[in-house]
Amino acid sequence: MKKRVKKPAPRRAKAPVVASASAPVSVVILAAGQGKRMNSDLPKVLQPLAGKPLLQHVLDTAAQLAPAALHVVYGHGGDAVRAACADPGIRWSLQAQQRGTGHALLQAMPGIPDDHQVLVLYGDVPLLRAQTLRELLVLAAGQISLLTVNLADPAGYGRVLRDARGRVRAIVEQKDATAAQLRLREANTGVMVLPAKPLKKWLGALRSDNAQGEYYLTDVIAMAVKEEWRVAPLVASSESEVTGVNDKLQLAQLEAAFRAQRAAEAMRAGATLADPARFDQRGTLKLGRDVFIDANVLFEGSVQLGDRVRVGPGCVLRDMTVGADTVIHPNCVLEKSSIGSHCSVGPFARLRPNAQLQDHVHIGNYVEVKNSVVGQGSKANHLTYLGDADVGEKVNVGAGTICCNYDGVNKSRTVIEDGAFIGSGAMLVAPVAIRAGATIGAGSTITKEAAAGKLTVARSRQVTLEGWQRPVKRPR
């Protein structure tokens, strides 16, 4: 009888070593591209969006994730890029030759520990949300995660290839795709999370035998799948969130998308916008209840508006605090200052840094205030300059009054005490004090202290010259 030979059990593929769900995260931002289509001397990642460079938007988003390390791979315009984003926490890696995204990421990998997760971002994709990235990191626990997007027109994007069960199998770049693959609408954004140790191996195995002769980062997905790593896709909620910038037209389109996002946030917070399409927020905006914002208002830096504040059209507010029930009339430029409640400012007023308006203050048309305190209930309604001044309560400053605060070398202060009345066209030559309840006659030039409760007049003697004739033009 023939001896029966027991066949060995089929050998199972070795399961990959998975990254821990709590693995530290190293963020790598690829920012070495030249951006030739920008037709600009400014590196692409330094092109401005909402008042700050594209790369800074990405850095700010990455910082919200509190990563263990933040790497930036730079190349074109390297000195300018590093100077513009001079954060001591950034670890810079130079890609001297642009040989593809895989080659770019490889430059940062020596500084990343094997037990880290690597989150790959791009310096020209500025509107990606931190919440999306948090979801992507959670999804990457024990596997690889990939951010994709469904596009009506995916031209120019790599296509995500899935099997019959919907599992990601590979990514093919457009120039290497077949006609059938080009009909796919799910596109690769390039944003992904991978475990560092196998990623280093995959990057080292990349080849450049493709249509562009580059080392594609996307090829590591097929390598990972071959080694039985699971690739978990996350579909982005909107196209604008993952859109990269390649030319000035796309930059303008993202600027419009950014404005629309901020307008929606303001309205959800309770603000009424006269025209959301003409609302421009380039910083942080904290809103009270029932705020009204007219068309073509620009907010920069950190701005806080109290309840029922009204901002007229054409205003610029930069690093401002505005109290409740204040009205800002059209075409004012207000920066680095504070305004109390129930105030009226403008139209055509300017607040320069460190102007402090207390409650119930009126600052009218063509009035400029700089480095001054204006006390409660005081008014400067026309054509006035208050510079380096301490203005008390219930002071009336007449039209054309100027604080002459600068002698060419030194700045000096003017003190105007409570209840003073400054007549029109007065020149207050600092350092000088106008005491409580004093009245300054119109057209006076005040160089000495004006006594409390009294009228002070300082004018040159009026003279009429007999026989004087006004000059006339000579006939040609």
Predicted confidence band of residue 18 (pLDDT cuts 50, 70, 90): very low
Q: Find the helix packing angle between 196-204 and 101-108, rounded to 10°.
A: 130
Higher pLDDT: 211 or 116? It is: 116
> β-pairing, 231-235 with 159-162?
unpaired
Residue 323 predicted with pLDDT over 80: yes
The model's confidence at residue 14, banded by pLDDT at 50, 70 and 90, is very low
Secondary structure (3-state) at 73: strand
CA distance 186 to 252: 25
Cα–Cα dist 380/350, whole Å: 12
Q: Measure Cα distances from 284 to 202, 287, 318, 413 in Å.
A: 41, 10, 10, 33
Question: What is the torsion angle, in degrees rounded to the nearest 10, for the CA atoms of residue 292, residue 296, residue 298 and residue 303?
Answer: 0
351 pLDDT above the threshold of 70: yes
Q: How far is CA 446 from the centre of its chain?
A: 46
Q: Are 68 and 89 in contact (CB under 8 A)?
A: no
Provide the whole-model pTM: 0.85
What is the predicted pLDDT for the residue at 148?
96
Cα Rg of the chain (Å, integer): 32
**From 76, 342, 360, 382, active-site residue:** 382
Domains of the chain: 25-242 (3.90.550.10), 263-456 (2.160.10.10)
Q: What is the pLDDT of residues 97-110, one digit of tens each?
A: 889 999 999 999 99
Q: Which residue has the tokens 């027991």?
A: 6
Q: How far apart are CA 82 and CA 70, in angstroms?
A: 14
**Residue 355 structure tokens:** 């102007």
Is residue 360 part of the annotated active site? The answer reads: no
Q: How confident is the model at residue 331 (pLDDT cuts 50, 70, 90)?
A: very high
